[in-house]
Chain A
């Protein structure tokens, strides 16, 4: 099995350092995703490994042979590259292009043999491009062209495959099919595959392990869930991400929340406490946070969607054990938190005996002179599972002056008017 070892390479473009002491090694059959912000050195790393850009220091070994000591043709027999995009001039057919992958094997005066054509055909059948064999490449679509280039890389019969964002310009269907093919080949032929990705989810889906590059250095390398953590991504990309396992596919999935620069201290004095649960409050929390309000929430059960959201957003939250009714202790903590808030938003949340205490907390707040906004997207009758107790509490709130709105959006604009009134008063 082949081993690719990158040993302490530094690469420069003029005086600008693009790679700084990058060291790692990969064994055949491993599919590694390289991620990092623009300019972090991803493509440069591939160029160094494909011997396109000679490192200033350090080198690349293939089974302990320094590739910078090999002949061009020898390198091309071992390392194939699929670039981001190929600009095809001239009317070469797809088969012509794929056969160029046999170049390192052909003597100068030999034309392609039947074996060469057979190898090209196999690669084209594998990438579903054989039917395009006689078409001029410059008439193919971007996705078809990329598949042809991948077929060419396979025709080189190398042990290392370098992919530079191979599917960036492709639609989702082509993305998935190309990545499926590449992963299959990686496993079947025990190739080393290094692929640059911009899409975390694509990387998470297809890679065995990942590498995060930042400013030309390896920030983190290893198994996917060790590398692609919210923490790492925040540090490297300055973006807050939700990193979770998808309940159906059990794959990591990563969704950007906001750039962490906007996740700053609240710019407004007003603190809003949100009573929610089951995902009814997450988007309100995010919006309020972005608009500069201080936001708190509770009581929420651990594992609740809104609880996760609050944690990800860094919002103070009073929590309760999973699937348990609110205890007196949590209730008190909630009241203490509510005390600091000036507005309480009661979300469109179903009430059962477990979370009825939240409604009671709202009542206490109202009695203490806080403003209450009740969001009523669906009538309370439909989401009352307490034999009317929630209904009673809610109508009591309404009669004592709680503001009722029909949607979260309306609640937000209500908040704004409230804030303006407050400002005018002071």
Chain B
């Protein structure tokens, strides 16, 4: 049998995927390096690399040359944790967005649609307003912890309300999510009203920022996001198939109810982890999946890793702008993502007028 074009091309795509991922990884590394150089104190990119490598286990012993104590302090203690936190949150939001858009087969879905943002905001604003101060193992203060807990509680409430018989109809889940979101927003507005001086803190938290991120935040969020994203990637092919509808996915051997459960749990967990350290950063979870889909196609086996990398890159860039544009003050990064993201996304949509984006 002649080895035809279509077959050859099908296998070529795996090679293309590798190239895409390598390019995105290189871009991410350069973005991190670049972002670390920018700030009140200019640091040379080479110095940045030197400092980073020096602090890595094993590799560190190979770095020679003079020490740069000041630069090292700024890079390691201030900038790097913040940038890595942005990367982790970017990965989490983008991947959760991919999963929810796929599961709900709805282009308007984002990680917040099933109540995570409102739940987290509720926990955060309660904690801030009533000054509930405690810390877990002395590494994390109470706001992210409460936000994480209330976010997961909200999702599980939404899930259980939407549950019917043995399964969860996705459309019901979406509607319940919208309803619970609105309800909680009303509660949050009320808390803001009575919060007095804490109002500013609440608003700043809800708009999203990495200003307070230190290594502890990174250490807390990283395991959740890593496990969640890896687990989601494992189910990439199932996510492709469920795009044809649950009934057809079922006919093709996908245990749809189990898939939905695992995917919702993973997406909720990584989103909650992200939100609890950064606040509610909008738009990343909505547009990164779309942009990536336009660029690499709809196959989740490439869509998930490339969205993850793109989410990290974009959020690092946005955070860099947020912390430098009105120096010495800072803008909430959520403002930047939406201000820059919307026009770019609309431009992409217009460019692709001819064929369906979805």
Contact = CB atoms under 8 A, between A and B. Distances in A.
Interface of A: 50-52, 72-77, 79-81, 83, 86-92, 95-97, 100-101, 103-104, 106, 108-109, 111-112, 114, 117-118, 121, 130, 133-134, 136, 138-139, 152, 156
B18 to A, nearest CB: 12
B14 interface: yes
Contact of A86 (B248, B253, B355): B248
Task: For the complex of A and B, list the 4 residue pairs with the smallest distance between their C-beta atoms, beginning with the closest.
Answer: A76-B253, A104-B253, A133-B6, A90-B298
Given A90-B243, A121-B4, A72 B254 contact: yes
B7 interface: yes
Interface string B139-166: 0000000000000000000000000000
Interface stretch (B71-79, B190-198, B233-241, B321-329): B233-241
Interface in B205-227: none
B6 A95 contact: yes
Interface in B315-358: 355-356, 358
Q: In which size bucket is the chain B interface?
A: 35 or more
A90 B190 CA distance: 41
A162 B293 CA distance: 33
A72 B241 CA distance: 14
B243 A72 contact: no
A73 B105 CA distance: 23
Given A72-B254, A76-B251, A100-B241, A91 B298 contact: yes
Given A114-B7, A152-B252, 15 more contacts: A52-B247, A72-B253, A79-B251, A80-B251, A86-B248, A87-B245, A90-B293, A100-B244, A103-B238, A108-B237, A111-B14, A117-B11, A118-B1, A133-B6, A134-B5
Contacts of A96: 240, 299
A104 B298 contact: no
A76 B237 contact: no
B254 A103 contact: yes
A196 to B, nearest CB: 15
Nearest to B250: A52
B9 interface: yes
19 contacts: A52-B247, A52-B251, A75-B253, A76-B252, A77-B253, A86-B245, A91-B355, A92-B298, A95-B6, A97-B244, A100-B241, A100-B244, A103-B252, A106-B237, A111-B14, A114-B7, A117-B7, A130-B6, A136-B355
Interface of B: 1, 4-7, 9-11, 14, 105, 234-235, 237-238, 240-241, 243-245, 247-248, 250-255, 293, 297-299, 301, 355-356, 358
A52 B293 CA distance: 30
A137 to B, nearest CB: 10
B298 A51 contact: no
Contact of B241 (A52, A83, A103, A136): A103
Given A100-B240, A100-B241, A156 B252 contact: yes
Contacts of A134: 5-6, 9
B253 A103 contact: yes
Nearest to B5: A134
B243 to A, nearest CB: 6
B68 to A, nearest CB: 44
A73 B243 CA distance: 18
Given A52-B250, A81-B251, A95 B298 contact: no
A80 B247 CA distance: 12
A408 B304 CA distance: 73
Contacts of A138: 356
Contacts of A81: 248, 251
